[in-house]
């Protein structure tokens, strides 16, 4: 009888201890096992995703407003320009006062990292404010299509070239000293560009050649050359300044300054002023606004 009582007592003491040990082991298993099986795939997934994300987010070393900026492969840029030019009256050379509006939207798209295609369409309206032609208006329309190619990039110096074909048409119904009421011209624009970013400064230089396809009614330029030195300054992460000068041989020269604001990295708003120095007429001057949006 004593042996039976001792056996029951030992069983009552040992059973709870064994049960508690088994419960603790099972609880540890369920506590650690889900973390081990869940955490490992999560780390692996991030290890495979991160390099792909960084490759897609590769950015150009130039800001969107920089003259050397080029959209990458399967990337595009939409640009819109609007400007107003005032021509002051000058009786000594027979120049009438006039005002000119110019609207010029453009879209460009990168077929590859080196090859970019582009197209634009523009509208120009000139209204005379004085003289015999007062209230006379000249409307001009133009289109432009072309390609640009990066020839090389050596030691941070970029060499680009481009060729475009353009067509312009004008209509004039009231100007008394203009013998023809409409006209048109078409031609090609071949240009070469070189530039390099040096810290916050990007100097560049472009030389181009314009050549007519056909002309009519005196609307003619034949072949002419132009140069376009420029300097882009990164004043701040969200502010840039573009200074440039465009001069045509035996033609006008334009001095321009544009301040760019970047609300975000793929968008820029620009506001600027310019002065045009013709070969014979009094200087013209004006203001402009533009935007660029990358997609």
pLDDT digits (tens, 9 = 90+) for 145-165: 999 999 999 999 999 999 999
What's the whole-number mean pLDDT along residues 216-228? 75
Q: Is 86 in the same domain as 118?
A: yes
- Per the structure block, which two tokens stand in for 198? 């040096």
Q: Give the Cα separation of 68 and 266 in Å (integer).
A: 15
Q: Give the Cα separation of 123 and 107 in Å (integer).
A: 16
Give the percent of the chain with pLDDT over 70.
74
C-alpha triplet 177, 104, 221: angle, nearest 5°: 45
In the chain, the number of structural domains is 2
Collect all residues with Cβ–Cβ distance below 8 Å to 263 and sequence separation of at least 6: 238, 269
Q: Is 101 in the same domain as 212?
A: yes
What is the Rg, in whole angstroms, of the alpha carbon atoms belonging to the chain? 35
The gap from C-alpha 61 to its chain's centroid, in whole angstroms, comes to 13
Residue 259 maps to which CATH number? 2.40.160.40
Q: Give the Cα separation of 179 and 189 in Å (integer).
A: 28
Q: Is 19 in the same domain as 131?
A: no
Q: Identify the band that residue 129 occupies on the pLDDT scale cut at 50, 70 and 90.
A: confident
Distances (CA, A) of 278 to 100, 251, 266, 281: 15, 6, 36, 5
Q: Is 182 in the same domain as 42?
A: no
Q: Is 132 in the same domain as 223?
A: yes
Q: Is 109 in the same domain as 140?
A: yes
Q: Is 46 in the same domain as 109?
A: no
- The reported pLDDT for the residue numbered 180 is 58
For residue 70, tell me if it sits in a domain: no
| Lowest-confidence pick of 34-48, 108-122, 152-166 | 34-48
Collect all residues with Cβ–Cβ distance below 8 Å to 179 and sequence separation of at least 6: 217, 218
For residue 67, tell me if it sits in a domain: no
Q: Strand 115-128 vs strand 284-294: parallel, antiparallel, or unpaired?
A: unpaired
Domain boundary among 32, 58, 84: 58
Burial of 44 (0-12, 13-18, 19+ CB in 10 A): exposed
For residue 66, tell me if it sits in a domain: no
Give tens-digit pLDDT for 173-217.
666 655 556 778 889 999 999 999 999 999 999 999 998 887 665
- Identify the domain containing residue 205 by its residue range: 76-294
Q: Is 92 in the same domain as 196?
A: yes
The gap from C-alpha 9 to its chain's centroid, in whole angstroms, comes to 88
Mean pLDDT across the chain: 79
For residue 64, tell me if it sits in a domain: no
The residue count for the chain: 295
State in Å, rounded, how far the first CA of the chain is from the last one: 93
For residue 85, tell me if it sits in a domain: yes
Q: Is 95 in the same domain as 54?
A: no
Q: Is 80 in the same domain as 213?
A: yes
- The pLDDT of residue 41 is above 80: no
For residue 63, tell me if it sits in a domain: no
Q: For residue 68, how many C-alpha atoms fall within 13 Å in the half-sphere facing its CB? A: 27
Q: Is 165 in the same domain as 245?
A: yes
Q: Is 178 in the same domain as 249?
A: yes
For residue 152, tell me if it sits in a domain: yes
For residue 134, tell me if it sits in a domain: yes
């Amino acid at each position: 009888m004593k042996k039976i009582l001792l056996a029951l007592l030992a069983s009552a003491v040992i059973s709870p201890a064994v049960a508690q040990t088994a419960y603790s082991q099972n609880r540890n298993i369920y506590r650690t096992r889900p973390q081990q099986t869940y955490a490992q795939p999560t780390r692996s997934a991030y290890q495979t995703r991160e390099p792909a994300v960084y490759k897609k987010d590769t950015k150009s070393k130039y800001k969107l407003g920089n003259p050397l900026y080029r959209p990458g492969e399967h990337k595009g840029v939409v640009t819109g320009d609007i400007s107003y030019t005032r021509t002051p009256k000058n009786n000594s050379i027979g120049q009438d006062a006039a005002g000119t509006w110019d609207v010029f939207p453009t879209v460009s798209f990168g077929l590859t990292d080196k090859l970019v295609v582009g197209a634009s369409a523009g509208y120009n309206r000139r209204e005379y404010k004085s003289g015999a032609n007062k209230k006379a208006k000249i409307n001009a329309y133009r289109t432009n299509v072309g390609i640009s190619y990066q020839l090389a990039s050596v030691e941070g110096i970029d060499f680009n070239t481009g060729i475009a074909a353009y067509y312009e048409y004008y209509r004039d119904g009231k100007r008394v000293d203009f013998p023809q009421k409409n006209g048109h011209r078409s031609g090609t624009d071949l240009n070469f560009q070189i530039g390099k970013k040096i810290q916050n400064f990007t100097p560049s230089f472009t030389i181009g050649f314009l050549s007519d396809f056909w002309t009519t009614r005196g609307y003619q330029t034949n072949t002419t050359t132009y140069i376009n030195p420029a300097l882009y300054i990164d004043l701040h992460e969200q502010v840039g300044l573009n200074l440039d000068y465009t001069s045509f041989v035996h033609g006008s020269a334009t001095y321009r300054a544009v301040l760019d604001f970047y609300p975000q990295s793929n968008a820029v708003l620009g506001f600027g002023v310019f002065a045009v120095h013709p070969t014979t007429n009094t200087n013209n001057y004006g203001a402009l606004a533009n935007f660029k949006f990358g997609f």
